[in-house]
């Protein structure tokens, strides 16, 4: 998990990866919060993330990832608002 | 933790939603992109998410493949502000208009006919290139599905 965390931080400077162990282990998933996703579609963001993962991780490590969901800090805040 | 007749509990569905939506995105990144399967899988991802919410809410599965009803049965809008509810309803409408459970049986040409018949390639009165309508439809679907999965997973983790 630390390897993936470091990889995301290195390739998305200023980002906050919130990763967690999926059930069942050893799968990993989570959110990547990054201001520079602003103005990009979800598809473009996924393309950006998976380009990094494919270029740096082996197939087995890629298969351990359930999802890296992407949001800007503003989107994260808006989603978490409650009535 | 409740399970359905199939034996899947809410956490299985929540994990499956994230895996399916990742697969939908990867199908679009494949060379060549797999638009028909990406379209189908993105709707399945949203169904998985709503199944997770429905099981947590303790309601029975009477929605079949009706995504709007799925959202209601799962109390998906509970606690959301009016602005959030409107945004989520718009995303669900986008998906409902573009996705059908029988997309898994469609050939590329059959999906193209579906898109043209329902004018899903027309946006703000302008049509996209007719050759690209399947691509356009799958990209809109995958975008909307990824957004709704992000909302659903984040609110689940923080509820």
Over 70: is that where the pLDDT of B141 sits? yes
Prediction ipTM score: 0.94
Q: How far is A66 from chain B (nearest CA, A)?
A: 5
A42–B143 CB contact, under 8 Å? yes
Q: Write the pLDDT tens digit of every residue in B104-125.
A: 999 999 999 999 999 998 877 6
Nearest chain A residue to B11 by CA distance is A23
Q: In DSSP terms, which residues pair with A16 in a beta bridge?
A: A33
CA A23 and chain centroid, separation: 17
A80 contacts B11? CB cut-off 8 A? no
- Residue B86 near chain A (CB below 8 Å): no
Q: Write out pLDDT tens, residues B2-55.
A: 666 577 899 999 999 999 999 999 999 999 999 999 999 999 999 999 999 999
Q: Does A43 touch chain B (CB under 8 A)?
A: yes
Q: Does A55 touch chain B (CB under 8 A)?
A: no
Token pair belonging to B59:
């309601």
Mean of the per-residue pLDDT values for chain B? 92
**Most A CBs within 10 Å, among B150, B153, B155, to test the A interface:** B150
**B18 to A67: CB separation less than 8 angstroms, yes or no:** yes
Residue A30 dihedral angles phi and psi, to the nearest 5°: 160, -160
A33: which strand partners?
A16, A71
Predicted local confidence at residue B86, as pLDDT = 96
Q: Which residue in this structure is represented by tokens 């956490």?
A: B11
Say if residue B146 is exposed, middle or buried (CB neighbours under 10 Å; 0-12, 13-18, 19+). buried
Cross-strand bridge partners of residue B3: B9
* Residue B3: predicted pLDDT: 62
Residue B131 is predicted with a pLDDT of 63
CA atoms within 13 A on the CB side of B49: 31
Q: What is the mean pLDDT of residues B69-85?
A: 93
pTM: 0.94
């Amino acid at each position: 998990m630390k390897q993936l965390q470091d990889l995301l931080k290195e390739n998305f400077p200023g980002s906050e990866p919130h990763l967690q162990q999926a059930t069942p282990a050893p799968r990993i998933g989570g959110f990547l919060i990054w201001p520079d996703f602003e103005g990009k579609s979800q598809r473009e963001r996924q393309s950006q993330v998976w380009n990094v993962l494919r270029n740096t991780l082996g197939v087995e490590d890629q298969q351990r990832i359930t999802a890296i969901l992407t949001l800007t800090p503003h989107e994260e805040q808006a989603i978490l608002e409650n009535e | 933790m409740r399970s359905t007749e199939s034996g899947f509990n809410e956490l299985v569905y929540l994990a499956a939603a994230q895996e399916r939506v990742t697969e939908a995105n990867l199908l679009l990144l494949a060379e060549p992109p797999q638009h028909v399967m990406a379209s189908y899988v993105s709707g399945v991802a949203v169904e998985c998410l709503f199944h997770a919410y429905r099981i947590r809410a303790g309601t029975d599965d009477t929605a079949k493949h009706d995504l709007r009803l799925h959202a209601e049965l799962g109390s998906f809008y509970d606690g959301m502000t009016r602005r959030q509810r409107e945004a989520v309803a718009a995303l669900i409408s986008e998906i409902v208009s573009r996705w059908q459970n029988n997309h898994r049986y469609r050939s590329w040409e059959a999906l193209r006919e579906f898109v043209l018949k329902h004018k899903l390639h027309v946006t703000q009165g302008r049509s996209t290139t007719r050759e690209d309508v399947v691509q356009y439809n799958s990209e809109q679907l995958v975008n909307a599905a990824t957004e709704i999965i992000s909302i659903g997973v984040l609110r689940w983790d923080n509820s």
